[in-house]
Amino acid sequence: MGSPANDIDRLVKREYKEGFVTEIDSDTLPPGLDEGVVRAISEKKREPEFMLQWRLDAFRHWLTLTEPQWAHVHHEPIDYQAISYYSAPKNEDGPKSLDEVDPKLLETYEKLGIPLEEQKMLAGVAVDAVFDSVSVKTTFSEKLAEVGVIFCSISEALQEHPGLVKRYLGSVVPAGDNFYAALNSAVFSDGSFVYIPKGVRCPMELSTYFRINAMNTGQFERTLIIADEGSYVSYLEGCTAPMRDENQLHAAVVELIAMEGAQIKYSTVQNWYPGDEHGRGGIYNFVTKRGACRGRNAKISWTQVETGSAITWKYPSVLLEGDDSVGEFYSVALTNNRQQADTGTKMVHIGKNTTSTIISKGISAGRGQNAYRGLVKVLNKADNARNYSQCDSLLLGDRCGAHTFPYMEVKNPTAQVEHEATTSKISDDQLFYCRQRGLSEEDAVSMIVNGFCKQVFKELPMEFAVEAQKLLDVSLEGAVG
Amino acid sequence: MLSIRNLHASVEGNPILKGIDLEVRAGEVHAIMGPNGSGKSTLANVLAGRDGYDVTEGQVLYRDKNLLEFSVEERACEGIFLAFQYPVEIPGVSNLYLLKTALNSVRKHQGMEELSAVEFLKLIKQKIKLVEMKEEFLHRSVNEGFSGGEKKRNEILQLAVLEPSLAILDETDSGLDIDALKVVAHGVNSLRNEQRAIIVVTHYQRLLDYIIPDKVHVLANGRVVKSGDRTLALELEKHGYAWVAQNPDAAAAPAVGS
Ligand SMILES: Nc1ncnc2c1ncn2[C@@H]1O[C@H](COP(=O)(O)OP(=O)(O)OP(=O)(O)O)[C@@H](O)[C@H]1O
Ligand SMILES: [Mg+2]
């Protein structure tokens, strides 16, 4: 029997089950980025003029920006001219009936466990499937339309509901917000659009599944969710990519808008290809996610389970503008091998009696590096703001690292801001205890890790909590000799 | 069932067990007593196969197989159960879930069908009555926030669910109030049968009033220095360990209890 450190090494060897490539003819723009590319994307999507102008403004602004350097991650410089900014399966320039979708695409999603035939789907979950740069199919759209819910690709929304898009796009994450957001604003190709009308409780879970397939292609999707007064929606995002030697860039922007009394629950199970054990390949995941509680009593919850990507740079945030509004952030981030994650949240208290909760669970294995970075900001008018933050780190082995960077800016003396942080290792005592009861070492580790994440998993919709647990198991999978 | 011969074991290079001989047959209950630091828990850990305990000499046969070759979980699945002196807490893992996973691992290993959630619930409701625990304990995290006595009861609950062939109870009576002691004893006694052997490690004769042992052994400085029937425990209570030191069994007394 080896030393505990060796055992952990063996345990955390992972296998990436979604690493296959779909052979499909694509319509791909050559690598490179200039105004011509921005115009070409807009043209391919037959966008209204305002959209093209918006993109061009973003692009010109992007040219003036430099990559942020403050995150606790390291990578070779990214050559933005070597990336292709648009790739779509041939003849897939818009959602259509299922019979018209290339069977190879259907097969791909089937293989990923996301069947797109409505009768085969999880009851009560509508899916928007995005393949490389375009949405290939949105299920249950008609059924949702009966209650007034709009759920479609953002390209379709630009055709069918340009007014709504124009009004809200960039209203939470301005086009020039940061380097990656500006890039996304210039070249985003697709993503999901959701509008829940006043007083409607969305009758099913909405979900988007992102798949990067093409080589040397970046994925820049844009998601916009608007929950009008007193409405409710639960939304889930999942993602995978084939195993490739080179790094692929994923720079998404997600904007959430919750009006008075509305509630948005946004859950992510992120499983992009993490690269191999030597750190070759994997997705660079640079994402800007932000929600605004625009009215009284609005509530936005972010729940994320992050097990993939070579580098994750992601801080889902909530702007608590309305009085009595509530922001929540529940996160599990696992890094293994050479993975790096710098993730956390921003809670900005603007209205009175606003409350935020942050529960962050970081798990590091192998040589993984996991950083929590959180900002709690209480502005001077935000009387009686309350925040509770809890950041727990679990280390598996002794070559990995956990770092916590909590920032607080409190400008109102009535605020109550609490922060707790712990770092622990899976103890030999716990492992021995479980194994003495008959569990294999692998099952024991998985059970203890899942226990560590329980507070976050219980926030996920039921079906996805099970998926998330399985994902952690796969991520920690390895032979025990 | 269990045959320990001239067992020597060290921890981090320090010899702790220095030639243990012990013979336990199916259907028997053995008590192991001895001063603090004499090696009782070490023996239990060695039998369970814990990392960091190096057997330097001797052998252990369990059902005629070389026990020392097996991993911790194989031993557990083959029916060896250790009730811990200090049960650990596992945050976020419900007691129920651990129990079900454990039982199904053991059943799988033994070629039995795994129990469904419904079947398991039925079983556990029955077992929990045996140790007089409230059902809410099933839904709490393993040992988290349990009082000392509740942790010990929980160990007995696991014992009752897993129904091992050889149970080793390391000071399960320590820290129990008198009512809990009776509950634990009742739990253990109800498991006594012809196929099962039980080793209880204890400092107190009191437990042995409720769990009546077939044999009593005194461990001192890593060896069994005296063995006898239950009256040995009473003598010990009267005279203390110094008395044993003055009246040991014949120096190399092997084959105790056979
Ligand atoms: N890592 C170690 N290094 C050195 N000595 C150790 C180590 N671990 C245990 N020991 C020693 O081994 C001896 C036996 O310990 P053990 O826990 O088996 O005693 P015990 O008989 O169970 O005592 P108690 O009645 O107090 O539970 C003790 O003297 C202890 O200090
Ligand atoms: Mg002890």
* pLDDT tens-place string over residues A203-240: 888 888 766 666 566 778 899 999 999 999 999 887 66
> Do A232 and A198 touch, CB atoms closer than 8 A?
no
Nearest-CA distance B47 → chain A (Å)? 11
The three-state secondary structure class of A31 is coil
Which ligand does the CA of B38 lie closest to? 1
Residues with pLDDT less than 70, chain B: 250-258
Residue B98 touches partner A, C-beta closer than 8 Å: yes
Tell me: pLDDT of A183 over 70. yes
Give residues whose Cβ lies within 5 Å of ion ligand 2: B 40-41, 85
Q: Which residue in this structure is represented by tokens 């993109």? A: A55
| pLDDT value for A241 | 59
| pLDDT value for B254 | 45
In the structure, what pLDDT confidence band is assigned to residue A11 with cuts at 50, 70 and 90? very low
Domains along chain B? 2-255 (3.40.50.300)
CA distance A92 to A94: 6
CA distance A17 to A35: 38
In the structure, what pLDDT confidence band is assigned to residue A112 with cuts at 50, 70 and 90? low
Q: From the CB of B246, is ligand 1 less than 6 Å away?
A: no
Give me the mean pLDDT over the A352-373 stretch: 89
Of A337-341, A454-458, B154-158, B159-163, which gets the smallest average pLDDT?
A337-341
Over chain A, what is the mean pLDDT? 82
Q: From the CB of B42, is ligand 1 less than 6 Å away?
A: yes
> Do A404 and A371 touch, CB atoms closer than 8 A?
yes
| pLDDT value for A98 | 60
Which ligand does the CA of B36 lie closest to? 1
Tell me: pLDDT of A307 over 90. no
Task: List strand residue ranges (DSSP E) for A366-480, in order.
Answer: 369-378, 386-396, 401-410, 416-425
Strand B215-220, strand B53-62: pairing? unpaired
| pLDDT value for A387 | 96
Give the distance (Å) from ligand 2 centre to CA of residue A406.
42
In the structure, what pLDDT confidence band is assigned to residue A4 with cuts at 50, 70 and 90? very low
Give the distance (Å) from ligand 1 centre to CA of residue B18.
13
**Tokens standing for residue A146:** 């009966």
Q: From the CB of B38, is ligand 1 less than 6 Å away?
A: yes
Domain regions of chain A by residue span? 22-426, 427-481
Share of chain A above pLDDT 90, in %: 39
| pLDDT value for B44 | 96
| pLDDT value for B19 | 94
Residue of A nearest to B54 (CA): A1
Sign of CA dihedral B213, B218, B224, B226: negative
| pLDDT value for A113 | 64
| Atom 28 of ligand 1, residue of closest alpha carbon | B37
Residue B105 touches partner A, C-beta closer than 8 Å: yes
| Atom 13 of ligand 1, residue of closest alpha carbon | B37
Nearest to A454 among B51, B92, B162 (CB): B92
Residue A379 touches partner B, C-beta closer than 8 Å: no
Q: From the CB of B36, is ligand 1 less than 6 Å away?
A: yes
| pLDDT value for A204 | 83
CA distance A406 to A404: 6
Is ipTM beyond 0.85? yes
Of A192-201, A331-340, A386-395, which gets the smallest average pLDDT?
A331-340
Q: Which residues of A touch B103 (CB under 8 A)?
A: 438
Higher pLDDT, A342 or B111: B111
Tell me: pLDDT of A385 over 90. yes
| pLDDT value for A136 | 60
| pLDDT value for A97 | 61
The reported pTM is 0.80
In the structure, what pLDDT confidence band is assigned to residue A285 with cuts at 50, 70 and 90? confident
CA distance A129 to A131: 6
Higher pLDDT, A76 or A290: A290
> Do B160 and B133 touch, CB atoms closer than 8 A?
no
Residue A459 touches partner B, C-beta closer than 8 Å: no
In A128-270, which ranges are continuous DSSP H helix?
141-145, 154-160, 162-168, 179-187
In the structure, what pLDDT confidence band is assigned to residue A7 with cuts at 50, 70 and 90? very low
Per-residue model confidence as pLDDT tens digits over A56-86: 999 999 999 988 887 777 878 888 888 888 8
The amino acid that residue A189 corresponds to is: S
| pLDDT value for B154 | 94
